[in-house]
């Protein structure tokens, strides 16, 4: 029966109106079910590897030409574009041995090549992508990572670990429910097989922390942060905020030219809790946070300084800043773990006070002399002092 009010009789009109009401109710119920189903899908993503994020499920033999994958969907759960290779651990390229950090396989992105996967996310939620990457032949490599419509470029000129692999974190806010995660190599080399190796692509939901009456600093213990790959021992690099407008370390900004390293208690010595930050690049490796303060009030900024028990030995100094006040904290590291506590007392001269930490010196690990390392920062607290 058509939904129209042009019926000739009142009875017919009432029947038509009731019929239309029932249709509208059914449509509303159906819409609710669809929204619920969509919400369920959006919430279904779990912290950890994305589908085939470690590339252990490989292409069919018919989709391989040597190491090159042929066809957009040759790599299961991914869509590829350009020259993308499927690399096996131990494979050689000339005199160079290609090392895979986790499992037996990795993907290599040639000139202007990319890998893409569709993700179902919760709109308005913050997420962090973690992935491992290694340079091969090219020296000035960088990676473009995007989750529509946000993107960032991560430079790879500085290698922080001696094994050639580093894990990186990049964060974003989900503006859409269904997005495309793309990792793209924008480089152009004479040899397309000189692109970066990619492995262990993971995702983690981030929950922005808030200040409390026990700590004005947000995420002072660094417990909220990017996903740490359980089978790797080198932590995760958090890039400078000029590369990432949403920090993978909620509450904090990386205000430096180089990255800081996010470490876990499973593989490193951590002063408090399960996570901490290692300042791995001297004054080029700094973290900062802007805290709300009251002009004229006295505050104490307390924190722990230590070493990660990763053979990072020698004289270290952490410099702490609270507005115009500074404190230098020396720490003699034997590279076997341990920490000391420090406190900076200051009077607020603004409603917002910038707090910052960096390492005065560059330090290399004593067991390989090529891996950047540095002092560990943890358990940062900011409290106002009551007047006596």
- Per residue in 76-92, pLDDT (tens digit) is 999 999 999 999 988 87
Range with the poorest average pLDDT among 1-15, 108-122, 175-189: 1-15
| Range 160-176 average pLDDT | 87
Q: pLDDT tens digits, residue range 43-63? A: 357 899 999 999 999 999 999
pLDDT at 7: 38
pLDDT at 227: 97
Percent of the chain with pLDDT over 70: 86
Tokens read off for 217: 């600093």
pLDDT at 302: 98
Q: Residue 230 pLDDT > 70, yes or no?
A: yes
Q: Residue 193 pLDDT > 50, yes or no?
A: yes
Tokens read off for 316: 């270290």
DSSP 38: H
Range with the poorest average pLDDT among 215-229, 261-275, 359-373: 359-373
Q: pLDDT tens digits, residue range 326-385? A: 999 999 999 999 999 999 999 999 999 999 999 999 888 888 777 889 999 999 999 999
Q: Residue 25 pLDDT > 70, yes or no?
A: no
| Average model confidence (pLDDT) across the chain | 85
Q: Residue 311 pLDDT > 80, yes or no?
A: yes
Taking alpha carbons only, the member of 298, 240, 308 closest to residue 277 is 308
| Rounded CA Rg of the chain | 26
Question: Do residues 113 and 83 make contact, with C-beta atoms less than 8 angstroms apart?
Answer: yes
pLDDT at 102: 83
| Range 202-207 average pLDDT | 96
| Range 6-29 average pLDDT | 42
State whether residue 291 is helix, strand or coil: strand
Domain 253-384 in CATH 1.10.600.10:
no
Taking alpha carbons only, the member of 250, 284, 288, 268 closest to residue 360 is 284
Q: Residue 276 pLDDT > 60, yes or no?
A: yes
Q: pLDDT tens digits, residue range 126-139? A: 999 999 998 777 56
* Cα–Cα distance measured from residue 216 to residue 239, given in angstroms and rounded to the nearest whole number: 25
Start-end of CATH 2.60.120.260 domains in the chain = 48-206, 253-384
Q: Residue 304 pLDDT > 80, yes or no?
A: yes
Q: pLDDT tens digits, residue range 94-111? A: 777 788 878 899 999 999
Q: Residue 13 pLDDT > 60, yes or no?
A: no
| Range 238-257 average pLDDT | 82
Fold of 48-206: Jelly Rolls (2.60.120)
Percent of the chain with pLDDT over 90: 62
- The beta-carbon contacts of 244-249 under 8 Å, at least 24 apart in sequence, are 244/152, 244/170, 244/171, 245/150, 245/152, 246/126, 246/150, 246/171, 246/172, 246/173, 247/171, 248/128, 248/169, 248/170, 248/171, 248/206, 249/219, 249/222, 249/224, 249/225, 249/277, 249/287
| Range 318-330 average pLDDT | 96
């Amino acid at each position: 029966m058509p939904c129209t009010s042009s019926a000739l009789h009142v009875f017919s009109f009432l029947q038509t109106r009731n019929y239309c009401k029932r249709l509208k109710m059914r449509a509303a119920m159906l819409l609710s079910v669809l929204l619920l189903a969509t919400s369920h899908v959006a919430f279904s993503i779990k912290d950890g590897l994305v589908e085939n994020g470690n590339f252990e499920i490989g292409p069919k033999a018919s989709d391989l030409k040597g190491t090159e994958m042929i066809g957009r969907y040759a790599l299961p759960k991914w869509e590829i574009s350009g020259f993308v290779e499927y690399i096996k651990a131990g494979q050689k390229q000339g005199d160079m041995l290609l090392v895979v950090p986790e499992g037996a396989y990795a993907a290599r992105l040639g000139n202007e090549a990319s890998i893409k996967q569709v993700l179902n996310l919760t709109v308005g939620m913050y997420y962090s992508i973690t992935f491992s990457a290694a340079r091969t032949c090219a020296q000035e490599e960088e990676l473009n990572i995007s989750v529509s419509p946000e993107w960032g470029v991560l430079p790879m000129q500085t290698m922080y670990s001696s094994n050639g692999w580093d894990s990186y974190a990049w964060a974003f806010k989900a503006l859409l429910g269904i997005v495309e995660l793309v990792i793209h190599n924008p480089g152009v080399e004479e040899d397309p097989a000189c692109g970066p190796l990619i492995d262990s692509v993971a995702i983690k939901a981030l929950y922005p922390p808030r200040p409390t009456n026990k700590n004005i600093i947000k995420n002072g213990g660094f417990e909220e942060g990017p996903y740490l790959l359980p089978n790797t021992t080198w932590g995760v690099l958090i890039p400078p905020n000029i590369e990432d407008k949403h920090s993978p370390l909620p509450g904090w900004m990386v205000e430096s030219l180089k990255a800081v390293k996010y470490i876990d208690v499973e593989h490193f010595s951590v002063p408090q809790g399960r996570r901490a930050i290692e300042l791995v690049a001297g004054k080029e490796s700094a973290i900062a946070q802007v805290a709300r303060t009251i002009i004229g009030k006295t505050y104490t900024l307390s924190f722990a300084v230590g070493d990660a028990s990763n053979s990072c030995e020698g004289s270290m100094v952490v410099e702490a800043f609270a507005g115009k006040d500074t404190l230098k904290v020396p720490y003699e590291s034997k590279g076997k773990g341990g920490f000391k506590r420090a406190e900076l007392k200051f009077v607020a001269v603004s409603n917002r006070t910038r707090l910052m930490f960096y390492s005065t010196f560059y330090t290399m690990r004593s067991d390989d002399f090529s891996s950047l390392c540095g002092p560990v920062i943890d358990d940062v607290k900011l409290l106002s002092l009551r007047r006596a």
